[in-house]
Amino acid sequence: MSKYFKTFLVTIITFSSSVSFAQTPLEFNNKLAYILDSVYKMGTAWGTKFGELNGSSKNFGELKPYRVNIDNYINDEIKELNTTKDVSGSENFRQTMISFLQFETELINKTFVPVEKLNASSDSTSVQKCFEYLIEESKKEGTYLDNVRSVQKEYAEKNNFEIQSAEGTNK
pLDDT in tens, 27-58: 999 999 999 999 999 999 999 999 999 999 99
Give this prediction's pTM.
0.83
Per-residue pLDDT band at 141 (split at 50, 70, 90): very high
- pLDDT for 20: 52
- pLDDT for 80: 96
Report how far residue 86's alpha carbon sits from residue 108's, in angstroms, rounded to the nearest whole number. 28
- pLDDT for 169: 45
- pLDDT for 155: 97
Between vectors from CA 100 to CA 42 and to CA 81, what angle results, nearest 5°? 90
As a whole-number percent, the residues of the chain with pLDDT over 70 amount to 84
Kindly give, in sequence order, each residue whose CB lies less than 8 Å from that of residue 93, ignoring residues fewer than 6 positions away. 28, 29, 32, 151, 152, 154, 155
Per-residue pLDDT band at 12 (split at 50, 70, 90): very low
Report how far residue 162's alpha carbon sits from residue 171's, in angstroms, rounded to the nearest whole number. 7
Mean pLDDT of the chain: 88
Per-residue pLDDT band at 23 (split at 50, 70, 90): confident
Report how far residue 51's alpha carbon sits from residue 69's, in angstroms, rounded to the nearest whole number. 18
DSSP state of 112: I
Binning the chain into helix, strand and coil, the percentages to the nearest 5 are: 75, 0, 25
Cα 80 from chain centroid (whole Å):
12
State pLDDT tens for residues 64-104.
999 999 999 999 999 999 999 999 999 999 999 999 999 99
The amino acid that residue 29 corresponds to is N
Please answer whether residues 63 and 50 qualify as being in contact, where contact means their C-beta atoms are separated by less than 8 angstroms: yes
Report how far residue 20's alpha carbon sits from residue 17's, in angstroms, rounded to the nearest whole number. 5
As a whole-number percent, the residues of the chain with pLDDT over 90 amount to 81
Does pLDDT of 126 surpass 50? yes
| Of the candidates 128, 144, 162, the residue with the CA atom closest to the CA atom of residue 30 | 162
Does pLDDT of 21 surpass 90? no
How do the domains of the chain map onto residue ranges?
26-158
- pLDDT for 1: 57
Report how far residue 159's alpha carbon sits from residue 16's, in angstroms, rounded to the nearest whole number. 25
